[in-house]
Structure 1
Amino acid sequence: MDWASVAGIALALGGLLLGQLLEGGHLGSLVQPAAFIIVGVGTVGAVLLQSGRQDFMRGVRLAKTVFVPRPDTTNLIEQQIVTWSTQARRDGLLSLERYLEGVKDPFRAKGLRMLIDGIDPFKLKDILETDLDSYERHERLAIKVWDAAGGYAPTIGIIGAVLGLIHVMENLANPAQLGSGIAVAFVATIYGVGLANLVFLPIGNKLKSLLAREVAQREMLIAAFFGIALGDNPRVIQERMSAHRR
């Protein structure tokens, strides 16, 4: 669990609610189901229209990694690469076949399999770089779901405010109904701007940071596989990986 992310969203929402109380307001006044439906359903619909079902669902699933990130396997990868490079230099690339079954990560398994198959080093590097480019492109399309939500939510909140004001204008002769209309108008704006800046955009930016870290790790792997295929000294390969971490 990434407690910094949990604390961040708790502080952001908690600060908003505490400010409402300190100004003498009531928390109940921020609970407006009509405003929430307008902003929530409207934002989901707009994002789904822009992104498509597949990217939308992948983007929603990615949000889990903000709070429960994938384990950092960099040290494990470095240990594996040192072992593989030493083994390959001593006994040849075919001797790496014994390690293939224990590798669960598809990218690492693909690189190791191509080493065992004796693929040309430059062709191996080109294939893995193409694979990485494709992976990064698809991940960025999924992450754009949250950027899109952060862009649409404030605008839809304004639409909700206008709808609330229309309701107010229609009931000028009935003062009892003016309060609910005004509440929906202002709370819809709060929902739109608040969700965009406190939830959607921070999640999108955190996912971009996590993706950048994963891409850097895979670039390190590509350099390592390329070095093993060329027959480089294991120490040289280790130094090259260390340079990628700086």
Structure 2
Amino acid sequence: MDPATIIGIVLAFVAIFASMILEGGNPMAIFLLPPLLLVFVGTIGAGLAGGLLSDAKKSAAALKDAFMGAPTSADETVATVVRLAESARREGLLALESAVQDIEDAFLRQGLQSAIDGADPEELRDILYAQIDTKRAEDKRAAKFYADMGGYAPTIGIIGTVIGLVHVLENLSEPAELGHLIAGAFVATLWGVLSANILWLPIASRLKRLSESACHQMEVAVEGVLAIQSGTSPRVVQEKLQSFLPPAPAQKEAA
């Protein structure tokens, strides 16, 4: 689990509420049901209207990953592929049949099994990269749903403010109530901007980053499978796959 999203959202809300308290305000003043209902339900409704129901379902399922998911590391994939390359070098490609079943990464396991079964290298490359493209497109749909809501939320907040101001104009005969009504009207705009920039847009960015990490790991796996299939030396396999990874801190300092 990578808690960056949770930490970031909590810090943002702490900064907002702390500034309100320091200015002598009451944080509970912004928790008004009508603007909250309008902004959040209205934003979700606009998000649904702008896509397909399957997009919304995919996005709801991805929400857990946005908060609880961890970026996929290719380091373990590199270590696994190098170990398998050493076995294939000593005993042949068919000797990996039993070892493949113990691999937890389903994508890597599928690629190796296809290589063992004698798939043509070019066809295997095309198949595996097509799966990566499909995953990237699916992840993009989920991220786009939240990015779209990040665009809709501020405008829906303004709609809530306009509705509130209409209510203010209806009560001009009661001056004592005007201050409270005007403040309530602007709460909708606050929640529209706040939800867009602290919830929806960061969630979209997080999903994009997790997708990039997972697809990069899959690309490393593809190159590893093809290298094993071609009988490349384990040392060369390791060097090739290491080139896909960011340099270690020690190497950066040396550079």
Which bin holds the TM-score, normalised by the shorter protein? over 0.9
CA RMSD across the alignment: 1.7
Superposition deviation, residue 174 in structure 1:
3.2
Residue 23 of structure 2 is matched in structure 1 by 23
Q: What is the CA–CA distance in structure 2 between the aligned matches of 1:234 and 1:51, rounded to whole Å?
A: 47
Residue 243 of structure 1 is matched in structure 2 by 243
Superposition deviation, residue 44 in structure 1:
0.4
Q: Which letter does structure 1 place at the counterpart of 2:101?
A: E
Q: Which letter does structure 2 place at the counterpart of 1:90?
A: R
- Aligned to 1:244, the other structure's residue is in SS state coil
- Aligned to 2:244, the other structure's residue is in SS state helix
Superposition deviation, residue 98 in structure 1:
0.2
Q: What is the CA–CA distance in structure 2 between the aligned matches of 1:176 and 1:52, rounded to whole Å?
A: 47
Residue 60 of structure 1 is matched in structure 2 by 60
Residue 170 of structure 1 is matched in structure 2 by 170
Residue 44 of structure 1 is matched in structure 2 by 44
Residue 250 of structure 2 is matched in structure 1 by none
Residue 126 of structure 2 is matched in structure 1 by 126
Q: Normalization by structure 1: what TM-score?
A: 0.93
Superposition deviation, residue 224 in structure 1:
0.8
Superposition deviation, residue 103 in structure 1:
2.5
Q: Which letter does structure 1 place at the counterpart of 2:156?
A: I
1:107 aligns with 2:107: yes
Q: What is the CA–CA distance in structure 1 between the aligned matches of 2:71 and 2:138, rounded to whole Å?
A: 21
Q: What is the CA–CA distance in structure 1 between the aligned matches of 2:40 and 2:93, rounded to whole Å?
A: 55
Q: Which letter does structure 2 place at the counterpart of 1:225?
A: V
Superposition deviation, residue 52 in structure 1:
1.9
Superposition deviation, residue 157 in structure 1:
0.3
Q: Which letter does structure 2 place at the counterpart of 1:212?
A: E
Residue 92 of structure 2 is matched in structure 1 by 92
Superposition deviation, residue 181 in structure 1:
3.2
Superposition deviation, residue 87 in structure 1:
1.8
Contact 1:122 1:226 in 2 (8 A): no
Q: Normalization by structure 2: what TM-score?
A: 0.90
Contact 1:39 1:191 in 2 (8 A): yes
- Segments of structure 2 that go 5 or more residues without pairing to the other structure are 247-255
Residue 33 of structure 1 is matched in structure 2 by 33
Superposition deviation, residue 60 in structure 1:
2.5
Contact 2:139 2:207 in 1 (8 A): no
Superposition deviation, residue 150 in structure 1:
0.7
Residue 195 of structure 1 is matched in structure 2 by 195
Q: Which letter does structure 1 place at the counterpart of 2:216?
A: A
- Number of equivalences: 246
Q: Which letter does structure 1 place at the counterpart of 2:228?
A: I
94-103 or 35-44: bigger deviation: 94-103
1:206 aligns with 2:202: no
- Segments of structure 1 that go 5 or more residues without pairing to the other structure are none
Contact 1:34 1:184 in 2 (8 A): no
Q: What is the CA–CA distance in structure 2 between the aligned matches of 1:200 and 1:185, rounded to whole Å?
A: 22
Q: Which letter does structure 1 place at the counterpart of 2:126?
A: D
Contact 2:164 2:181 in 1 (8 A): yes
Tell me the alpha carbon deviations over residues 7-48 of structure 1, each in whole angstroms, 9 at most, x when there is no partner. 211110111111111222112211110000000000000111
Tell me the alpha carbon deviations over residues 170-192 of structure 1, each in whole angstroms, 9 at most, x when there is no partner. 22223455345323310000000
Residue 218 of structure 1 is matched in structure 2 by 218
Residue 4 of structure 1 is matched in structure 2 by 4
1:141 aligns with 2:145: no
Q: What is the CA–CA distance in structure 1 between the aligned matches of 2:71 and 2:107, rounded to whole Å?
A: 16
Tell me the alpha carbon deviations over residues 87-109 of structure 1, each in whole angstroms, 9 at most, x when there is no partner. 22222222111023223332112
Residue 234 of structure 2 is matched in structure 1 by 234
Q: Which letter does structure 2 place at the counterpart of 1:227?
A: A
Residue identity (%): 39
